[in-house]
A and B are shown apart, each in its own frame.
Chain A
Amino acid sequence: MSAAQWRKAMNAGAAAQGWPRQRRAASAPAGAARAEAPAPYADQDAPRWLKWIWERVAARHVFVLAFVLVYPLVATPFFTFQIGAQSLALGLIALSLTFLSGYGGMISLAQMTVAGIAGYMVAILGVSGTAEISLGWPWWVVVPLAIAIATVCGTLIGWLSVRTEGIYTIMITLAIGVAFHYLALQNYSVFNGFQGLQKVYAPTVLGVNWGEPLPFYFLALACALGGYFLVQYLVRTPFGIALQGVRDNPRRMNALGFNVTAHRVAAYAVAGFIAAVGGVLFVWYNSLITPGSIGTSWLINILIIAVLGGMRHPIGPFLGAIVFVLLQNFAIDVFARERFNLVIGGVFLAIVLFSPDGLLGLWAAFRARFANADARSRISPPRPSGRT
């Protein structure tokens, strides 16, 4: 990659790849510098936060936000809980992989393992059906502790796997994930073996039972939005920009004086935190955790969700999760119920073969077909996670 290409990649990466308004915002160095530059707005006296919102919020953002807020009020509890909340929880776990892979260039299959560790910690430290194992601590100790432990584990997994690159990372994280699955399967004193831990319910706080469909949906939505904006914010910080530089060319970043390993491990820590929050939600959603829920098929399902949606933008994993959950619940009615793997495997194969950027890639291609030549020039951002 030439120097010019690389600079372009850095700038494009900073703008979260190809969304017009955001690119305009990020091309200015910083907020302070922008204030001196001639602003493109007629009303110069508007407060800065209003301009900030005006720059970033488009009609589709308002539309999506309104939709996710109104959706549970009109949908049946089944759609709110099984489809909506599950998509949000799975999307959050897949978001951690999108962050790692789309912005850090590292594909880790162990993100579900991190989520599973958080789920197991919630079950072991909190209340579950197996009283001999669960410690029964209150939720406000359990949840932060579970997230902290899982984040530490995610960081350790990252520390091990950043020694490798590209496809090696996939293999090592897969091996780690499967090893933890077998550990949970074979160990009865802590993980309760094959049965896992049942009856892990969301707590009742402030008089609201957060396990009910509607409160749980909003809890998941709040976490998902938090994760989404965390990633959106992080990829513009100096850390996020440097991380994308590491993705595109680690040797150059090293030569520029950046600590490549530290950036990668930090990315794993952030991803571990996001996955841990998703894991806590997912264990409450299922109200149980078993070795099966961190088995190979789930490790790969998270990859499927992330790839299905597209790894260019943090909205991708949520799109992928919606498609995945819908397929899981409805597409199998067309075929036999137990042929779900065939359907999801086939869809995944089709996406990987024909649209490597997932649904977001399809959307970009769709827009390019109907938009003018200006839009055409934006839809070819640098490949994420490609080796240089």
Chain B
Amino acid sequence: MSRFWKWFWGIAIGGPIAVFVVWALASNERLFLVTLLNGLTLASLYFIVAAGFTLVFGLMRNVNLAHGSLYILGGYLGYVVAEQTGFWLVALAAGFLVAAIVGLAMQVSIFRFMQGEDLRQTMVTIGLSIVIADLLLWTFGGQVHQLSPPAWLDGPLRGIPVINAYSKYRLALLPLGIAIGVLLWLFLNRTRVGMLIRAGVDDRGMLSASGVNVNLVFAITFAIGAGLAGFGGVIGAVELSMVPGEDVRLLLASLVVVIVGGMGSVVGAAIGAAILGVAETFGLAYAPTYSVVFTFVILVLVLAFRPRGILGRPA
């Protein structure tokens, strides 16, 4: 793209956004800042869930459409564990572990036997998501399950300039999302397993030829990806509440995040999550009827100019 077009699109997209920010800040400063915070905290939940999705896709070319089901599974289990033990952190660990084990079981018992058959794997995950969603509906019924945040994160944090008070729990999500991102980055870039995973993303066949047990690497990646979905589920059980249908919502969010950010890239997932989370909450706050249209417009714009996502690379 020439310099002129870069400037042209920069102004065409950035201009209206800048005008909107100035107008919103001038008209109602508090609403704008609260919405921004809401957007960023929602983005951090989206990032946690979508990072697992993109990790699995990047290595295995497996679009796990049961990812939303793993999310809601983690959420429900976290709810049960928190009811029984009373510790939210235990619930968080349980959500991660159970989703990771279910993901591991899926990889070992099904996907291992259809390596390279992308479309068939995708269809299997669709079937699994239908079955899991219905089993959960059977077990937990259709009513809303809301997990309360732990005592030390309950209630609002007071005394912030302009905003006055903001939920401690939601505020805590921001550093949590960043911490998970940093941990994931360290894991992928500084550990041996992470290096194997990245090598697998670049060239599966070559990794296998160098004597690495690729199936083991796949299993670990799938477990981590699924575990992140379950982890996100426990967080979402507090932030958003658990009802049948949330799995589809988070699946859609993950899809949009990775399409916008670029499949297989953790940094891309962070960018995509930030864009989607902020756009969605601003849409809800300023134009409630058409909030979903914003998501769609972003998707179309990205696809029109970067079909593989902002940080996507050719497969």
Binding site for B on A (CB under 8 A): 107, 160, 163-164, 166-168, 170-172, 174-176, 178-179, 182-183, 186-189, 296-297, 300, 303, 307, 339, 341-342, 344-346, 348-349, 352-353, 356, 385-387
B134 contacts A160, C-beta separation under 8 Å: no
Partner pick for A186 among B122, B258, B291, CB 8 A cutoff: B291
A187 contacts B289, C-beta separation under 8 Å: yes
Q: Which residues of A contact B124 (CB under 8 A)?
A: 349, 352-353
A170 contacts B131, C-beta separation under 8 Å: no
| Assembly CA distance A189 to B295 (angstroms) | 20
| Assembly CA distance A175 to B253 (angstroms) | 9
Partner pick for B292 among A163, A164, A168, A182, CB 8 A cutoff: A182
Partner pick for A341 among B133, B255, B299, CB 8 A cutoff: B133
Q: Which residues of B contact A189 (CB under 8 A)?
A: 289
A-B contact pairs, 24 of them (CB 8 A): A160-B300, A163-B307, A167-B119, A170-B63, A170-B119, A171-B259, A172-B259, A174-B65, A175-B252, A175-B255, A175-B259, A178-B252, A179-B252, A179-B299, A189-B289, A297-B130, A303-B123, A341-B133, A345-B128, A346-B127, A348-B123, A348-B127, A352-B120, A386-B117
B63 contacts A167, C-beta separation under 8 Å: yes
Q: B108-142 CB contact bits vs A (8 Å, 1 = yes)?
A: 00100000011110111011101101110110000
A163 contacts B134, C-beta separation under 8 Å: no
B34: min CB distance to chain A, Å: 22
A160 contacts B130, C-beta separation under 8 Å: no
Most A CB within 10 A of own CB, among B130, B255, B293, B304: B130
B170: interface (CB < 8 Å): no
A169: min CB distance to chain B, Å: 10
A300 contacts B296, C-beta separation under 8 Å: no
| Assembly CA distance A326 to B133 (angstroms) | 22
Partner pick for B131 among A171, A296, A349, A356, CB 8 A cutoff: A349
B7: interface (CB < 8 Å): no
B135: min CB distance to chain A, Å: 7
A156: min CB distance to chain B, Å: 10
A357: min CB distance to chain B, Å: 11
A151: min CB distance to chain B, Å: 19
Chain A, Cβ-Cβ closest to B132: A345
B131 contacts A345, C-beta separation under 8 Å: yes
| Assembly CA distance A353 to B117 (angstroms) | 12
| Assembly CA distance A107 to B118 (angstroms) | 12
Q: Which residues of B contact A171 (CB under 8 A)?
A: 63, 255, 258-259
What is the size, in residues, of chain B's interface with A at 8 Å between Cβ atoms? 41
Q: B248-282 CB contact bits vs A (8 Å, 1 = yes)?
A: 10001001101100010000000000000000000
Partner pick for A167 among B61, B127, B138, B256, CB 8 A cutoff: B61
Partner pick for A178 among B61, B134, B248, CB 8 A cutoff: B248
A-facing residues in B281-315 (Cβ within 8 Å): 288-293, 295-296, 299-300, 303-304, 307
A107 contacts B119, C-beta separation under 8 Å: yes
B172: min CB distance to chain A, Å: 29
B119 contacts A385, C-beta separation under 8 Å: yes
Partner pick for B138 among A186, A187, A339, CB 8 A cutoff: A339
Told that A188-B289, A345-B127 touch, could you supply 20 new A-B pairs with CB distance under 8 A? A164-B303, A167-B118, A168-B259, A168-B263, A170-B63, A171-B255, A172-B299, A174-B255, A175-B255, A179-B252, A182-B292, A297-B130, A300-B130, A345-B131, A348-B126, A348-B130, A349-B128, A352-B127, A356-B120, A385-B119
Most A CB within 10 A of own CB, among B126, B131, B135, B138: B126
Q: Which residues of A contact B291 (CB under 8 A)?
A: 186
Q: Which residues of A contact B126 (CB under 8 A)?
A: 300, 303, 348
Q: B238-251 CB contact bits vs A (8 Å, 1 = yes)?
A: 00000000001000
B183: min CB distance to chain A, Å: 27
Chain B, Cβ-Cβ closest to A387: B118
A229: min CB distance to chain B, Å: 28
B157: min CB distance to chain A, Å: 32
Most A CB within 10 A of own CB, among B117, B119, B122, B258: B119
A75: min CB distance to chain B, Å: 30
Q: Which residues of A contact B63 (CB under 8 A)?
A: 167, 170-171
| Assembly CA distance A352 to B128 (angstroms) | 11
Chain B, Cβ-Cβ closest to A109: B126
Known: A339-B138, A345-B131. A186 touches B123 (CB 8 A): no
A175 contacts B131, C-beta separation under 8 Å: no
| Assembly CA distance A300 to B300 (angstroms) | 22
B122 contacts A167, C-beta separation under 8 Å: yes
Q: Which residues of B contact A386 (CB under 8 A)?
A: 117, 119
A-B complex: 3 closest residue pairs judged by Cβ atoms: A345-B130, A349-B127, A182-B292
B299: min CB distance to chain A, Å: 6
Partner pick for A339 among B122, B134, B263, CB 8 A cutoff: B134
Chain A, Cβ-Cβ closest to B252: A178
| Assembly CA distance A107 to B126 (angstroms) | 13
Q: Which residues of B contact A296 (CB under 8 A)?
A: 248
Q: Which residues of B contact A300 (CB under 8 A)?
A: 126, 130
B130 contacts A341, C-beta separation under 8 Å: yes
| Assembly CA distance A214 to B118 (angstroms) | 43
Chain A, Cβ-Cβ closest to B130: A345
Q: B7-48 CB contact bits vs A (8 Å, 1 = yes)?
A: 000000000000000000000000000000000000000000
| Assembly CA distance A344 to B131 (angstroms) | 8
Chain A, Cβ-Cβ closest to B300: A160
Q: Which residues of B contact A168 (CB under 8 A)?
A: 259, 263
Partner pick for B295 among A166, A179, A353, CB 8 A cutoff: A179
Partner pick for B256 among A175, A339, A342, A346, CB 8 A cutoff: A175
Partner pick for B119 among A166, A342, A349, CB 8 A cutoff: A166
Q: Which residues of B contact A174 (CB under 8 A)?
A: 65, 252, 255
